[in-house]
Structure 1
Amino acid sequence: MMARKFSEREKEIIRERLVEAGKECFGVYGLKKTSIEQLTKAAGIAQGTFYLFYPSKEELYFELLELEEEKVRRQLLEETEETGVMTKERFVRFLRKSLSVMGENPFFRQLYEEEVMEQLVRKLPPEKLAAHFDKDADVALPFIRRWQEEGWLTSHKPEIIVSLIRSLILLTMQKWLIGEDVYDETMELFIELMADGLMTK
């Protein structure tokens, strides 16, 4: 039996449905526990149709991850649009915003909490992953580099500063270990110390 041919408009609608289904299913169940059947059922299409658009569920997940990264970049950009001198207060706001938008995002949480990256590396074409990381996959990296060029941040490797921010985000997932009664003050102190240590002025 020949696969049905879809018009360009139908393809656009199906892709939009799959993207929404992916956001819903991956957000709730994660990459490992989400099946093609769940995705196609949520999108209202046949399982065979899925493969006309994506070779695997990992390809869909990866596309969504890139969309989420772009959304986070825009959110962080809002925190950096203020012109003039970079102050400690502005940098602290940036760190708080980074924690909020990345720590609460289910896609980023899964990358940190589960073996999702390992699964993506196994399933995705190496050239796709390489192209992704060449685009500065770490959403904070472009901002760090810019502030270093402007002379507001120390000359540590930008990747190390991003790693500090990533480490801070990891702490948001250990609230119960830190202790809920001291968590908020602990995180605020971490942010203050990071700002003091990284600002040059």
Structure 2
Amino acid sequence: MFTKEDRQVIRQSLLQQGRKLFLRYGLRKTNVGELARAAGIAKGTFYHFFDSKEELCLEIFHLEEGELSREIQGILDRHPDATEALRAVMEYSLRFVRGDSLLSRLRESGEYTLLSRGAGKARLARHLARDVEFAGQVLEALRRKGAACPLEPVVVAGILRAVVLLAFHEEEIGSRLYAPAMKHILEWIARGITGKAGRA
């Protein structure tokens, strides 16, 4: 039906147009027909590439995380001290998700749970496994800087995910308290993960 090149072009178009539509209208208000039309394909053709709009959204989310991962690697390379490096990684991650990211849009609109439910358990499990794998890579980079890093990658992945989620609760934490509280939280987490907790 499609050549390999056609499939690559269509897939890329769905990813680009999908990101634009999801950022503009959100997951709930964007339908498969609109996604297909924006990519220049028939609605039925969409399903040759993705099982659902949630699956497309999760793939776009994964691509954004790839950009974040590359920047994080650069941050780790630039900071010789493990604790400072990890704190800088978390600070950048918070800025990233509060900026022009799909995660930010989904969180603000309360649609993140729709993505979790609609993407399918297997795909979501693969996504979470990538988080754990990346946490392992971060830990290895920190250990090369001399940090003890006593925690397992799965625990660190959960901690880093929790830090990112805090970015979406500034109002509940209190706008005036958020920045100073986060500064201390990130410091404590960085020291705990690198094995420097309790040291001055």
TM-score (norm 1): 0.77
2-structure distance, mates of 1:136, 1:186: 25
Q: Structure 1 residues 14 and 121, CA, compared in 2 at 3 Å: closer, same or farther?
A: closer
Q: Structure 1 residues 41 and 164, CA, compared in 2 at 3 Å: closer, same or farther?
A: same
**Does the CA-based 8 Å contact 2:135-2:153 persist in structure 1?**
no
Question: Structure 1 residue aligned with 2:169, among 152, 170, 174?
Answer: 174
2-structure distance, mates of 1:100, 1:141: 22
Higher RCO (CA < 8 A, seq sep 6+): 2
2-structure distance, mates of 1:46, 1:39: 10
1:31 partner SS: coil
1:11 has 2:7 as partner: yes
Q: Which amino acid aligns with 1:144?
A: L
**Does the CA-based 8 Å contact 1:153-1:200 persist in structure 2?**
yes
1-structure distance, mates of 2:125, 2:187: 35
Q: Which runs of 5+ in 2 are unaligned?
A: none
1-structure distance, mates of 2:133, 2:28: 23
1:173 partner SS: helix
| Greater shift in the superposed pair: 34-43 or 130-139 | 130-139
Deviation per CA, 1:131-180: give whole Å up to 9, x if none: 54444456444202442466404312332233222222222111112222
State the structure with more CA Rg. 1
**Does the CA-based 8 Å contact 1:72-1:139 persist in structure 2?**
no
Percent of aligned positions with the same letter in both sequences? 28
Partner of 2:155: 160
Partner of 2:81: 86
2-structure distance, mates of 1:16, 1:172: 30
TM-score (norm 2): 0.77
**Does the CA-based 8 Å contact 1:65-1:107 persist in structure 2?**
yes
**Does the CA-based 8 Å contact 1:19-1:64 persist in structure 2?**
yes
Q: How does 1:1-201 map to 2 (within 5 A)?
A: 5-82=1-78, 85-104=80-99, 106-109=101-104, 110=106, 113=110, 114-115=112-113, 116-121=115-120, 126=122, 128-136=123-131, 139-148=134-143, 151-200=146-195
Give aligned pairs, total: 192
Q: Structure 1 residues 173 and 11, CA, compared in 2 at 3 Å: closer, same or farther?
A: same
2-structure distance, mates of 1:185, 1:34: 37
Higher helix share: 2
